[in-house]
Amino acid sequence: MGEKASSRASFSSRFGYVMAAAGSAVGLGNIWRFPYLAAKYGGGAFLVVYLILVFTFGYTLLMAETQIGRHTRKSPIGAFEHYGKSFPYRFGGWINSLVPMIILPYYCVIGGWVLEYLSGYFKNQVQEMAGDNYFSDLIGNAQSEEFWFIIFGICTIAVIILGVQKGVERVSTILMPILIVLTIVVAIYSITRPGAMEGVKYFLIPSSTNFSWMTVVAALGQMFYSLSCAMGIMITYGSYMKSDVDSEKTTTQIEFFDTFIAIMAGLMIIPAVFAFSGSSAADNLQAGPSLMFITMPKVFGSMGFGMPIGIVFFLLVFLAALTSSISIAEAVVSTFEDQFGWKRIPAALLTAAILFGFGTLCSCGFNVLSNVTILGMDFLDFFDFLSNSIMMPIAAMATCILVLRKIKLDEFARQVMVTSEFKRRKIFNFVMKYLSIGFLAIILISSVLNVLGVIKI
Ligand code: PFF
């Protein structure tokens, strides 16, 4: 089974691939989700568990997906069918392809909120945005929410229409370095505020008091989300990777990149909350998902230079979210191109129809359709639950089963070693054989129990 040569689009270089894949991984998950989970689950203890998981389990999943894409040169449906046409393999391909279709619309709605905050800081509405009801008023206003969502969606689709090299790769190679610089600037500003050191200690020093089994479960789910695993993206991006690129080295670089930005985001947010909310810092950090949209604007409202810092902060969140939504859309477009034999423009237009149709439903879920719920959830929460809690663990299980049962570990290693030393082969084999299915089952069961209210993640 040699690697196929084809006329398929490809990234022009290893650097281009790493920037695009890191652009995918670094997103709202790093800046919005990671800091609030770290704050909630024991600061440094969460960080240690997270790091161990990223470099073992995360590495294994990323390697598996990238190599499957690279070997078959197909998006998920075709990639799975390459190995077997029976139901389990077809199902594995379909579920990996469906996940990005579900995530894309609501991810762009959240991207629209980020844009709306960014425009507010440009208009110097620093104090208004620090108000208690600003966020609920924002999502309650159907017209402006839809407007910013559409702008964000258009940015995503425009890049996709430009193509893999001229769009995805070029935009990622420009935006990712800017993102790193902005992140470092804000993190340095944040940790040098008076009182911020308490936050740095809280974030970095492991303490057993805040540690529980839920720390591990939360870190596991976050690792999965943050690395863009189980959503067809790494299979698709692997299929665009040149055949002489070292897949292990690139995977390691993506892991470092993603983890670095997550840690920097923790250093931007947690010390700032300590510096600007005094004795209530620990409580404020428990804000959960609203940490970025409610707590941070309050912090900016009470600090000097709130306007420029707010602009830089939301600009970097926007860049991170945009490069991720581009990758999610690319996974969808590539499936349409491969399955229907379509050209890029019609495939991108169908993707746009899904994005704007379901995205509008999600954005209306907070206002004109707020009386409609599914299983007690608004549309956005429901699509998030369906994809992240149910479909992604199953999609990842399908990938692991494909590697274990069909490709087999020795053949997988042979394929990787065409271009790589495969230094972490022992870790890969161990995680695949003994841990992967169990870990994924833990994520699946615990996130369902969380939604049912049986446990609290
Ligand atoms: N890995 C990206 C992030 O951390 O935001 C992209 C992403 C992952 C988007 C998972 C959506 C999602 F459900």
Provide the residue range defining the domain that includes 177.
14-451
pTM over cut 0.75: yes
Quick: pLDDT tens for 144-162: 999 999 999 999 999 999 9
Work out whether the CA dihedral 152, 155, 161, 167 comes out positive or negative: negative
Inside any domain, residue 1? no
Look at residues 98, 108, 125, 85 and name the one whose alpha carbon lies nearest to residue 363.
Answer: 108
pLDDT for the residue 4: 45
pLDDT for the residue 102: 97
Residue ranges, the chain, pLDDT below 70? 1-6, 457
Q: Give CA angle at 454 (449, 457), nearest 5°.
A: 65
Distance from C-alpha of 359 to C-alpha of 425, rounded to nearest angstrom? 41
Provide the 3-class DSSP secondary structure of residue 215.
helix
Output the domain CATH number for residue 396: 1.20.1740
Distance from C-alpha of 129 to C-alpha of 118, rounded to nearest angstrom? 11
Inside any domain, residue 279? yes
pLDDT for the residue 6: 57
Query: What are the φ and ψ backbone dihedral angles of 124, each rounded to 5 degrees?
Result: 60, 35
pLDDT for the residue 221: 86
Pick the atom of ligand 1 nearest to 392's CA.
13
Inside any domain, residue 457? no
**Mutate which of 50, 113, 226 for ligand 1 pocket (most atoms within 8 A of beta carbon):** 226
pLDDT for the residue 132: 86
State how far Cα 318 lies from the chain centre: 13
Pick the atom of ligand 1 nearest to 387's CA.
13
Inside any domain, residue 21? yes
CB atoms near residue 7 (< 10 Å): 6
**Mutate which of 109, 225, 319, 380 for ligand 1 pocket (most atoms within 8 A of beta carbon):** 225
Rounded to the nearest angstrom, the distance between the alpha carbon of 104 and the centre of ligand 1 is 10
Widest pairwise Cα distance in the chain: 62
Distance from C-alpha of 371 to C-alpha of 76, rounded to nearest angstrom? 36
Inside any domain, residue 135? yes
pLDDT for the residue 1: 40
Query: Cβ < 6 Å from ligand 1: which residues?
Result: 25, 27-30, 103, 107, 225-226, 228, 324, 387-388
User: Which residue matches tokens 């620990």?
Assistant: 282
Cβ–Cβ < 8 Å for 7, 195: no
Strand partners, 206: 43
Provide the 3-class DSSP secondary structure of residue 374.
strand
Inside any domain, residue 3? no
Quick: pLDDT tens for 112-136: 999 999 999 999 999 999 998 999 9
Q: Token pair for residue 424?
A: 């972490």
* Total domains, the chain: 1
Q: Token pair for residue 261?
A: 């930005």
